[in-house]
């Protein structure tokens, strides 16, 4: 007896509420942009600038105790991460303490660093500080620009890839869905003021890759059905293709979410933003594949000239290896 989340054959009309779903996506993107411009993002140390202090101790690292010791200093965004390395012995416990740049200061002052070291020594007398590294506002500003350039470059390359593999209508639909995913995700981060750092950028790139993978699977089935059902209306053909791949979509997204859920709940503050971005991205990426990318393709239409002797003529890039 096998568990089936989706019946073998489904006949869901994904375009039945197309105006509602597509309109809702446009509204969500608009609201996300408004939130981004008005509330801004809660940038982490990577983008604000700050200081990283490496600690070593013979006692086990207790992140909660460290955080409680630093709380009276009112340093703002402080991230404490225990460092695990198989080469470390039982007497070598390492942690990284990251402190955001303070107001009107190029970097965290020497006095602030001394206060942090003193506060940690009160809870762990054996603690030492082998290294201190600072990231200034100029470097953090360059990181912001580089991060968004990376996201934009990924979308452009994906647009070119889909264009070569399928047709330009599919390329526009896929990239529109990716823009939808990234902008709405940034809007959620702005609304909830979740820390936005380089790990979040990595999550956004992961979302782009995950979303486009699901989109390509459906588009590949669409291309097969375009040859198989030469006279079927495009709307019915897109519905058929989505229904045929629905089981795969649900199983892939569902198992990914099941793997991410424990990390989201028990992973702690250090990785929660990263995991939340991927968790939300899987949901919004699956939605955009079904309700955004296909709607764009339907609106643009796909030219099918079956009067040619060779049905593949004019589609010479269709069989480019994935």
Q: Which CATH architecture has domain 50-135?
A: 2-Layer Sandwich (3.30)
Q: Are strands 42-43 and 195-196 parallel, antiparallel or unpaired?
A: parallel
Instruction: Identify the three-state secondary structure at position 94.
Output: strand
Task: Please check whether the domain covering 18-41+140-300 is classified as CATH 2.60.40.10.
Answer: no
Q: Mutual orientation of helices 110-123 and 63-70 as an angle, nearest 10°?
A: 130
Hey, is 196 helix, strand or coil?
Answer: strand
pLDDT tens, position by position, 244-278: 888 888 888 888 888 888 888 887 666 778 888 88
Buried-state track 259-288, b at ≥16 Cβ within 10 A, e below 16: ebeebbeeeeebebbbbbbbbbbbebbbbb
Total Cβ atoms within 10 A of residue 159:
17
Rg (Cα) of the chain, in Å, rounded? 25
Every domain range in the chain assigned CATH 1.20.1640.10: 18-41+140-300
Q: Each residue's pLDDT tens digit in the chain (322 positions)?
A: 555 666 667 788 888 888 888 889 999 999 999 999 998 888 777 777 778 888 888 888 888 888 888 888 888 778 888 877 666 767 788 888 888 766 656 566 778 888 888 888 888 888 888 888 776 655 666 777 887 888 888 888 888 887 887 778 888 888 888 889 889 998 999 998 888 877 888 888 888 888 888 888 888 888 888 888 878 888 888 888 888 888 888 888 888 888 888 888 887 666 778 888 889 988 988 888 888 888 888 888 877 654 444 444 444 444 444 3
pLDDT digits (tens, 9 = 90+) for 122-141: 888 888 888 887 766 556 66
Indicate where the chain has its CATH 3.30.70.2040 domain(s): 50-135
What pTM was computed for the model? 0.72
Chain mean position to CA 53: 28
């Amino acid at each position: 007896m096998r568990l089936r989340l989706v019946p073998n054959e489904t006949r869901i009309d994904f375009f039945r509420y197309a105006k509602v779903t597509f309109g809702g996506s446009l509204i969500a993107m608009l609201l996300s942009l408004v939130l981004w411009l008005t509330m801004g993002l809660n940038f982490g140390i990577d983008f604000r600038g700050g200081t990283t202090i490496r600690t070593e101790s013979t006692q086990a690292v207790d992140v909660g105790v460290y955080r409680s010791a630093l709380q009276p200093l009112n340093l703002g965004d402080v991230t404490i991460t225990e460092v695990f390395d198989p080469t470390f012995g039982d007497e070598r416990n390492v942690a990284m303490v990251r402190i955001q740049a303070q107001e009107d200061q190029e970097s965290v002052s020497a006095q602030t660093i001394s206060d942090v070291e003193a506060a940690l020594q009160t809870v762990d007398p054996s603690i030492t500080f082998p290294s201190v590294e600072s990231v200034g506002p100029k470097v953090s500003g360059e990181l912001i620009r580089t991060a968004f350039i990376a996201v934009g470059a990924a979308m452009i390359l994906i647009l070119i890839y889909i264009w070569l593999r399928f047709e330009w209508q599919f390329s526009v639909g896929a990239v529109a869905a990716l823009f939808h995913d990234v902008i709405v995700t940034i809007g959620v981060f702005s609304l909830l003021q979740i820390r936005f750092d380089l790990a979040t950028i990595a999550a956004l790139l992961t979302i782009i890759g995950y979303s486009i993978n699901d989109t390509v699977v459906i588009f590949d089935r669409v291309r097969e059905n375009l040859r198989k059902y030469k006279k079927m209306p495009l709307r019915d053909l897109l519905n058929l293709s989505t229904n045929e791949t629905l089981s795969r979509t649900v199983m892939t997204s569902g198992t990914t979410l099941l793997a991410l859920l424990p990390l989201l709940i028990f992973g702690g503050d250090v990785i929660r933003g990263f995991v939340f971005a991927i968790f939300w991205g899987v949901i919004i990426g699956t939605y955009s594949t079904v309700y955004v990318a296909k709607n764009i393709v339907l609106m643009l239409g796909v030219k099918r000239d079956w009067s040619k002797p060779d049905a593949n003529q004019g589609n010479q890039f269709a069989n480019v290896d994935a």
